[in-house]
Structure 1
Amino acid sequence: MPAPKNTLKQAMAEGRLLRGLWLALGSETVTDIAGRAGFDWCLIDGEHGPWDPTGIRRQLMVLAGTPTAAVVRVPVGEAWVLKQALDLGAQTIMVPMINSTAEAKAAVAACRYPPQGIRGNGGATMRAGGYGGIADYSASANDEVCVIVQAESRAAMADLAGIASVEGVDCVFIGPADLGADMGFRDNLAAPELWEEITRGIKVITDAGKAAGIIVSPAMAPRMEAAGITFLGLGSDSNVLAENLSALARGAR
């Protein structure tokens, strides 16, 4: 029995528009609700959300019972962290703060078993391989792992063509907040110069034949879709909850 088919990776390669939600709260209940809401993917955030492998495993198990694909963002691109996220059962990984072609290559290598990479083999101890129940997991897992790298700095944007050309990178995701801060627009993310650079970057990514991703407000989504974004984050569980609770409270006064 081979590793499960990664349908999100396949849809990404086909150029389909894939809309999703950030999960920052670490709540299994919220994850369950989000997974049933109709998104193409939900991202369990271990960078700015809690990096709690036990909690992330539970969220992955919850999403497995919904129609929505799971993505896990690790806190750093260290090989041992990536190995742990994959062993928990994540097949699609987002790696933050990739600033160079070399860093992108290292991230891909950490997500693949030898000889294509350096991922350590946990055998029958890990959820990814069904605790030994998926006999051909190690032989087939490499083909089903989807790697999303984040370009979030001027250095990354300068080397974007190289990053996007790395074999095994499925998507390059531009982080507007960190990129804006690095460009001097931390407190003015509406700066035209920032979005001109992002639009340029999207073309570089798509010209390399890779999916381009970003997270923006729903109002900004049509502009990003027109620019070529196909992996589109539409907000986070924390923001949706906070905004709607505040609106409800204001309406009750």
Structure 2
Amino acid sequence: MPLRLNDTFRDALTAANRPLYGGWITTGSPVAAEIMAGSGLDWVLIDMEHAPNGLESVLAQLYAVSAYPVTPVVRVPVGDAVVIKQVLDLGAQNILVPMISTAEQAREVAAAAQYPPIGRRGVGSALARSARWNRVEGYLANAADHVSVFVQIETAEGVSNAAAIAETPGIDGVFLGPSDLSASMGLLGQQNHPDVVAAVKEAFTAVGTTGKPYGVNAFDPDRADVYAEDGARFLLVGADAALLARGSEGLAHRFIGSTAHGTRASY
């Protein structure tokens, strides 16, 4: 009997009647991935850009989350055609590509994620989990239906090109990264600075004109609420490493009154 792959993140966003809230998996741990996947969150981000992840560990995390009704998205470390091909062949159906600042970069990403003649994704589905080793009927012809591609705007230049990036064929949505955006604006570490927030909202407006969904990283719950009110359709609202760090600090503060370094915990 032919196998059917899961719906994509693009499909989940289209079907949703509210913003989708996700958790960032940064530890490289399949156990942490499974814990996050079973939490009730809508989606999880398996990160290869800032996390100790290679192809084998990403595959293990895709296995770990597959038993849960959560949508996994893999953030590749760079918009490189070889990396994108390898991650898609692992069976990742949804990718997020960081540091996209121009429409040309977005076109390169879209091409890397699609087979010829539209794109230039290398063909190896008979050997790969993506097509379940040729058990997914018609995978080569219909691969674009099984893959969604999102790009991340993280620079002031990207904000100025947000509409052109979003309307690129093959790009399914845009995610804003306020941390690197603040750095590009000379406001390192000030994600909630009014100018950074204004830039994020400027990008929201520009992407919104194209009809593509937009999302944002927002660990501050109040800020996340505001971004959701501004139309963000998908948000990252926490990360495994951050939850563990703050939770363990909370225990130290509650029972010892200090952190492991002997200084009082701050919140």
Partner in structure 2 of residue 237 of structure 1: 240
1:244 alignment partner AA: G
2:253 corresponds in structure 1 to: 250
Q: Give the whole-Å Cα distance in 2 for the aligned partners of 1:176 and 1:20.
A: 16
Cα distance in structure 2, aligned partners of 1:23 and 1:36? 13
The Cα shift of 1:123 comes to: 2.8
CA distance in 2, matches of 1:133, 1:144: 14
Shift of 1:7: 4.2
Once the 2 structures are TM-superposed, how far is the Cα of residue 100 of structure 1 from its aligned partner? 0.4
Q: Give the Cα separation in 2 of the matches to 1:37 and 1:187.
A: 29
Q: What residue in structure 2 maps to residue 33 of structure 1?
A: 35
Q: TM-score, normalised by structure 2?
A: 0.91
Give the structure 2 partner of residue 120 of structure 1: 122
8 Å CA contact 1:2, 1:136 repeated in 2: no
Show the counterpart of 1:175: 177
- Paired letter, 2:235: L
1:49 match? 51
Q: What letter matches 1:95 in structure 2?
A: V
Residues 32-78 of structure 1, C-alpha deviations (whole Å, 9 max, x = no match): 11111001110100000123100100100111111111100000000
Structure 2 counterpart of 1:224, from 219, 224, 227: 227
- Determine which of 139, 142, 157 is the counterpart of 2:141: 139
Asked which structure has the greater RCO (Cα within 8 Å, sep 6+), the reply is: 1
Alpha-carbon distance in 2 for matches of 1:46, 1:244: 24
Matched, 1:9 2:10: yes
| Deviation (angstroms), 1:191 | 1.5
Q: CA RMSD in A?
A: 1.3
Residue 71 of structure 2 is matched in structure 1 by 69
Q: Take 1:14 and 1:166, find their aligned partners in 2: how far apart are those partners?
A: 22
- Aligned twin of 2:215: 213
Cα displacement (A) at 1:190? 2.4
1:59 aligned partner:
61
How far apart are 1:14 and its partner, in Å? Answer: 4.2
SS at match of 2:142: helix
Question: When the two structures are superposed, what TM-score results if normalisation uses the length of structure 1?
Answer: 0.96
Which range moved further: 127-136 or 98-107?
127-136
* Separation in structure 1 between the aligned mates of residue 190 and residue 67 of structure 2, nearest angstrom: 40
Shift of 1:219: 2.5
Q: Give the Å deviation of 1:5.
A: 3.9
Report how far residue 127 of structure 1 moved: 0.9
Structure 1 runs (4+) deviating above 6 angstroms are none
Greater CA drift, 86-95 or 163-172? 163-172
CA–CA distance in 1 between the matches of 2:92 and 2:46?
10
Aligned to 1:203: 205
Residue of structure 2 in register with 1:184 after alignment: 186
SS of the equivalent of 1:134 reads coil
Counting aligned pairs with the same residue, the percent is 36
Q: SS where residue 192 of structure 2 aligns? A: coil
Larger radius of gyration: 2
Give the equivalent residue in structure 1 for 2:113.
111
Contact 2:160-2:203 at 8 Å conserved across structures: no
Q: 1:70 to 1:187 in 2, by over 3 A?
A: closer
Q: 1:232 to 1:119 in 2, by over 3 A?
A: same
Q: SS in structure 1 opposite 2:120?
A: coil
SS across alignment from 1:202 = helix
Q: For 2:22, what is the secondary structure of its paired residue?
A: strand
Q: Amino acid of the residue matched to residue 29 of structure 1?
A: V
Gaps in structure 1 of 5+ consecutive residues = none
Relative to 1, partners in 2 of residues 1:204 and 1:243: Cα closer, same or farther, differing over 3 Å?
same
Contact 1:42/1:70 (8 A) holds in 2: yes
Q: CA deviation at 1:188?
A: 2.6
